[in-house]
A and B are shown apart, each in its own frame.
Chain A
Amino acid sequence: MGFDYNSLLAFIIFGVTIGVVYGIVALGISLIYSGLDIVHFAHGEMYMFGAFFGLVLAHNVGVPYPIALIGAMVLTALLGMAVERVFYRRLTRAGGGYTVAGMGMIICGFGMSVALVNVAYFIWGAEAEPFRANLDYIPRLSFPGDIEVPESYVLTAIISVALMAALHYFLRHTKTGLAVRAVAHNKDIAYLMGINVPLMISLIFGLACGLAAAAGVLIGPMQSVQVEMGYLMLMKAFAAAVVGGFGSLPGAILGGIMVGVFENLGAAYISPSHKDIYAFLLLILVLMFKPSGLLGVEAKVKA
C-alpha cells in the first residue's frame, strides 16, 4: 500500500487549525512579555475562564455562539485587568517597575494560576462539560480526497485569523496601538510622550486575556470544557511562543501553527498516546539549533 497523501493533508489541515489557536494564546503571552517584561504563568487559566464564560453564556444565558465568544472575551479581559491591577501591580510599586519585579512576578503568576483553578473548581466543579454550539450555519469545508473539515474547525480558523488581523491593525495603524508599542519598548519614554502608561498596561493585559478567552471558546466545541484545561494549553502556547521567538508576535503565530502540525503528525505517524510530547520535542529541537526562536532576534523583538 502506498503512502496516503490524503490523510497527510488532513493531518496538516487539522494541525494548522489547532495551531492557530495555540498561536492566539501564545500571542497573548508574547504581548504581555514584550509589554510588561513578565512571563505570565496564569495565562492558561485565563483561557480556561474564557471557555467557562463562553459556556455559561451559550448554555445558561442562551445567547448565540458568536455573542458568547465576544462576551467571554470581554469578561476575561476584565478579569485579567482586575488581576493585574490588584495583584501584579502591587509588586511593581515597590520600585523598579515590571523588569525588576521579575522573580516575584513569576511566583505571583504561579500562585494566581493555582488560585484561579481552585476558584473555578468552586464555581463549576471538576467535571468536564461538553460545549454544545449550534454551528449549522457554518459550511463544512471539503477538500479533494474526501477530507471533510467540521464546522467548528472552519470557524476556528476564520476567527483566529480575523483576531490576528485585528490585532495587527490595532498595533500598526492606530494611535493607541502606537502607544502600546511605545510602552512595550520603554515605559519611561512613553511617560514623557504623555502616554498614560498604567492604562496602557491594563489594556495590554486585557487584550492578551481576551485573546486567551477566544481560544477557550473556540476549542470548547472541539474538546470539552474542564477546570484543568489551562495547564496543558499554557505549556503548548509557551512552546509555540518560544519556537517562534519569545516576544515576537508573528513568531507566536508561526510557532503555534508549527506546534499544532507537529503534534498532529506525531500523533498520526508515531504514537497517538504521546500526542502532548511532540510540542516539547519540537521546542527542544528549535532551542538546540536556533535558541532565539525562528523569528526571534538576539535581543527580544518588541511588538
Chain B
Amino acid sequence: MLQINDVHAGYGNLKILRGVNMQVPTGGIVTLLGGNGTGKSTLLKAVSGLIPLMEGEVLFDGVSISKMKPHERMRLGLVQVTQAKEAYPAMTVEENLVLGAYTRRDRAGILADLERVYEFFPVLRERRKQLSGTLSGGEVQMLVIGRGLMAKPKMLMLDEPSAALAPKVVLEIFANINRIAKTGVTILVVEQNVRMALILAQYGYIIRDGVIMIEGEAKKLISDPAVKESFLGGSVANTAKALRN
C-alpha cells in the first residue's frame, strides 16, 4: 500500500534521511523502530508531506504522491496521527474528533464513525464536552488516534503512541491499535518501545542515522541479537566504552 523508495529528506541544508527504502503491505501492521534523532519523525513528515523530499519517491496505492500537498495526500486516505501532545488543547474532545473528519461530507457516516471511536475509547465519550487540554496523557493519545480514525483512513501512521505513558496505558492503546487494524486499516507505527511494537506488528524496520539498518519479520526481530545490539545494546555498549576511555 505504501512504498518508500530511496527517500532523502531533511530540514534546510541538513539531510537526515539518506536513502530510506520501506514497504507497508495492505492490511498489515508494520513498525519503524529507532532511538531519538534517528530520523523516524522526519520520515513520517516526508511521507505525509510536511517536508519536501530531496530525492526518491513515495508511492501510495501505486500512485506517486511525492509532489502532493499534505492535505491532498490525506484525502487519499493516508492519515498521520500526530504525537499526543498535538491535540488542539483549546478545543473540546468532540471538536477535535469532528476536525478529524474535516474532509468528509457524509454527515451520517461521520456520526457513525464518531460512535465507533467512542466505542473504541469510551473515556472519550465521557469527556466529549471537555477541553482536550484537560485530558490525561493516555486520554490525549486515544483522542489523536480517534481523530485519525474520523478521517476514514486506508492507512494510519502513528507517531510514538506509547511515548510518556504508563505501561498499563500503553497496553490498552496497543490493544486498540490491534483492533483498528482488524477492521481493515493498514498501520505503520513508529516506536521506541521495541518489545511492544514488535509484538504488535508483523514486520519491522530499524532505522539508524537516516538509513534502514535491519528489517525482517517481527517474530524474528524480537529474538534477533542484532536488533538488541543496534537499538539498545549498541548504544549502551558505546556509552560504556566511552565511559571507560
Q: Which one of B12, B50, B79, B99 contacts A188 once the chains associate, using CB atoms below 8 Å?
A: B50
Pick the interface stretch among A52-60, A116-124, A177-185, A236-244: A177-185
Question: A223 in the interface, Cβ–Cβ < 8 Å?
Answer: no
B214 to chain A, nearest CB (A): 29
Q: Are B86 and A196 in contact (CB under 8 A)?
A: no
B50 touches A193 (CB 8 A): no
- How many chain B residues touch A (CB < 8 A): the figure is 24
In the complex, the answer to whether B88 meets A192 with C-beta atoms within 8 Å is: no
Q: For chain A, residues 171 to 203, give those with C-beta under 8 angstroms from any C-beta of chain B.
A: 175, 178-179, 181-182, 185-186, 188-189, 191-197
Q: Return the contact of B75 from the options A175, A181, A188, A194 (Cβ within 8 A).
A: A194
A194 partner residues in chain B, CB cutoff 8 A: 71, 74-75, 102-103, 151
B180 contacts partner chain A, Cβ-Cβ < 8 Å: no
- What is the distance, in angstroms, from A33's C-beta to the closest C-beta of chain B? 15
Partner of A186, one of B88, B95, B103: B88
Chain B 85-114 near chain A by CB (<8 Å), digits 1 or 0: 010101100010011101100000000000
Chain A interfacial residues counted at CB < 8 A:
18
A95 at the B interface (CB under 8 A): yes
Give bound CA distance, A201 to B48, whole Å: 20
Taking beta carbons and an 8 Å cutoff, which residues of B are in contact with A? Answer: 12, 48-50, 69-71, 74-75, 79-80, 82, 86, 88, 90-91, 95, 98-100, 102-103, 147, 151
Check if A179 sits within 8 Å of B88, measured CB to CB.
no
Query: Does the CB pair A191–B70 fall under 8 Å?
Result: yes
Determine the distance from Cα of A259 to Cα of B100 in the docked complex, in whole angstroms: 40
Top 5 nearest A-B pairs (CB, nearest first) are: A194-B103, A191-B70, A194-B74, A194-B71, A192-B80
In the docked arrangement, what's the CA distance between A181 and B88, Å?
Answer: 9
Q: For the complex, give the distance between the alpha carbons of A191 and B82 in Å.
A: 11
Chain B nearest Cβ from A300, distance in angstroms: 11
A-B contact pairs, 19 of them (CB 8 A): A178-B98, A181-B88, A181-B90, A182-B88, A182-B102, A185-B88, A189-B82, A191-B49, A191-B69, A192-B48, A192-B50, A192-B82, A193-B71, A193-B99, A193-B100, A194-B75, A195-B71, A196-B71, A302-B90
Q: Interface residues of A: mostly helix, strand, loop or mixed?
A: helix
In the complex, the chain B residue whose C-beta lies closest to that of A186 is B86
Extra contacts, 18 of them, besides A175-B102, A191-B49, A192-B70 (Cβ < 8 A), are: A179-B99, A182-B99, A185-B90, A186-B86, A189-B88, A191-B74, A192-B74, A193-B74, A193-B99, A193-B100, A193-B102, A193-B147, A193-B151, A194-B75, A194-B151, A195-B71, A196-B71, A197-B71
Interface set of A (CB-CB < 8 Å, partner B): 95, 175, 178-179, 181-182, 185-186, 188-189, 191-197, 302
Q: How far is the CA of A195 from the CA of B104 in the complex (A)?
A: 11
Q: What is the CA–CA distance of A179 and B102 in the complex, to the nearest angstrom?
A: 8
**B12 to chain A: which residues have CB within 8 Å?**
95
Residues of A within 8 A of B71 (CB): 191, 193-197
Give CA–CA (A225, B208) in the complex, Å.
Answer: 65
A172 closest partner in B (C-beta): B95
Question: Whole-angstrom distance from the CB of B107 to the nearest CB of chain A?
Answer: 11
Nearest CB on B from A239, distance (A)? 25
Residues from chain A with Cβ under 8 Å of B74 in the complex: 191-194
CB proximity of A197 to chain B, nearest CB, Å: 7
The CA-CA distance from A191 to B86 in the complex, in Å, is: 13
